[in-house]
Structure formats: C-alpha cells, structure tokens
C-alpha cells in the first residue's frame, strides 16, 4: 500500500526502496542503504540526490563520512504542493500557446479517417469528436459487446458533456447490453437502437 501510494505521486521504484530504507534505518551511510534497499552502490548516490532534490532526504557529514536520513514524512505533502505548483505553471504555459497549436492543426491537411488503439486511444477519439462536432451535428456509434466498468463510467461522463454541447448521438448496441441505454436514456439528443442478442 505504501509503495503504491508513493508510486502514484511520482517516485520511481528505486526512490521508493531507498526512501523506505532511510525511514527504517535512520541516519545511515550509503553502504547500509545499499544493502537494505538492494540498490547497487553505483546507483544509490544518484537516487539519494533525487530524493534530496525533492526535499525527502537530507545528510550530515561526520568525520568525512556522509550520513543520510529521511526528511519528516510530512515533507511529502510539501513535495506534492510544489509539484502542483509546477503543474499549474506548465498548464498556464500550454494554455498560452493553445491557440497557435489549434491554428496549426486546423490549417494542416485533413485525413479521411483516423485510427485509435487501446484505452487511451478510445479516450482521445471521444475527446476529438466532442471537440470537433458542433451543436446540432450528429455522432453515429456502434457497440456490440460489453465494456469494463471503468469504460462505462468514463464514457457516460463524456456523453453528458456531448449532450450539454447539443451534439446529437445515435447508438446501435446489442440487446444484451441495455445497461448503456439505462445509463444514458435521460440525456437529451440521444437515441438508441438495438440489435438482436444473437448478433455478436
């Protein structure tokens, strides 16, 4: 659970192992940290440097030897605040150049069709359609099989955005999967048609 949480905030596997070693060992030399974390001696200093840059580790020198230790765990919250501030700066920078990026894309030659693959591709395709279509235009879709719960939740949210924008959609789905209909029948500009269950 700890490893997963630390990984989600952006720490690498090596950083997590060294950070946990520091928490367990307290003030220690690089040799002890290497042994406990099972990170090679040639890499452990690099990992320690990254942790110190993030404010998660410190060191003191005693008789010419460096002793490393973890900063207080609450520094993780400071790290997240700084990370969020950096994200906001990056977001602001992208927003400033967004009109230029859109202009470049709109002026480029358009393909007849686009192919998207995988979960991220599915999300990109949906975002692309919702951004491109205008109020009153129509979106035709066909889905013959079930989809993971994660997908259903995501696509239902995006369908709400689509309906709010005034884009019409007609779905063609298998009768076995009327859950999609139940989730979306309340949305305006939405129409469902069903295929027989035998049609897979």
Question: Does the pLDDT value for residue 144 go beyond 60?
Answer: no
Report if residue 147 sits inside a domain.
yes
Same domain, 7 and 64: yes
Domain limit, last residue, from 50, 77, 104: 77
Same domain, 72 and 129: no
Domain that holds residue 38: 2-77
User: Using CA atoms, how far apart are residues 38 and 33, in angstroms rounded to an integer?
Assistant: 8
| CATH number of the domain that residue 183 is part of | 3.40.50
Same domain, 122 and 197: yes
Same domain, 73 and 124: no
Task: List phi, psi (to 5°) of 189.
Answer: 60, 35
% the chain with pLDDT above 90: 43
Domain limit, last residue, from 77, 99, 133: 77
Nearest to 183 by CA among 163, 162, 153: 153
User: Using CA atoms, how far apart are residues 191 and 185, in angstroms rounded to an integer?
Assistant: 8
Question: Does the pLDDT value for residue 112 go beyond 60?
Answer: yes
Domain count, the chain: 2
The rounded radius of gyration (Å) of the Cα atoms in the chain is 26
Terminal CA-CA length for the chain? 40
Residue 44, CA distances (Å) to 58, 69, 162 in order: 14, 13, 50
Least confident of 11-20, 97-106, 171-180: 171-180
User: Using CA atoms, how far apart are residues 128 and 131, in angstroms rounded to an integer?
Assistant: 5
Angle 124-127-131 (CA atoms, 0-180°, nearest 5)? 140
Same domain, 73 and 125: no
97-114 average pLDDT score: 80
At residue 173, the 3 state secondary structure works out as strand
CA dihedral 35, 41, 46, 51 (to 10 degrees): 10
% the chain with pLDDT above 70: 92
173-192 average pLDDT score: 78
At residue 58, the 3 state secondary structure works out as strand
Characterise 115 by phi-psi region: left (phi > 0), alpha (psi -120 to 50), beta (else): beta
Res 147: pLDDT: 66
Strands in 29-167 per DSSP E: 57-62, 65-70, 138-143
Report if residue 97 sits inside a domain.
no
Report if residue 94 sits inside a domain.
no
Report if residue 92 sits inside a domain.
no
User: Using CA atoms, how far apart are residues 122 and 151, in angstroms rounded to an integer?
Assistant: 9
Same domain, 118 and 68: no
At 18, is the pLDDT very low, low, confident or very high (cuts 50, 70, 90)? Answer: very high
Same domain, 121 and 198: yes
Domain limit, last residue, from 77, 104, 125: 77
């Amino acid at each position: 659970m700890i490893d997963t949480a630390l990984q989600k905030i952006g720490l690498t596997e090596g950083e997590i192992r060294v950070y946990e070693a520091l928490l367990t060992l307290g003030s220690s030399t690089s040799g002890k940290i290497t042994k406990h974390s099972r990170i090679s001696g040639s890499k452990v200093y690099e990992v320690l440097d990254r942790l110190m840059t993030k404010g998660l580790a410190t060191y003191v020198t005693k008789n010419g030897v460096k002793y490393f230790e973890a900063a207080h765990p609450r520094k993780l919250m400071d790290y997240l605040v700084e990370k969020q501030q950096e994200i906001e700066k990056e977001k602001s920078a992208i927003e400033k150049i967004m009109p230029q990026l859109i202009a470049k894309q709109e002026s480029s030659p358009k393909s007849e069709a686009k192919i998207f693959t995988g979960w991220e591709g599915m999300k990109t395709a949906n975002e692309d359609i919702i951004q491109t279509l205008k109020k009153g235009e129509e979106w035709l879709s066909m889905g013959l099989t079930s989809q993971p719960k994660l997908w259903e939740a995501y696509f239902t949210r995006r369908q709400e955005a689509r309906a709010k924008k005034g884009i019409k959609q007609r779905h063609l789905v298998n009768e076995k999967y009327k859950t999609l209909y139940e989730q979306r029948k309340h949305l305006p500009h939405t129409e469902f048609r069903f295929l027989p269950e035998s049609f897979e």
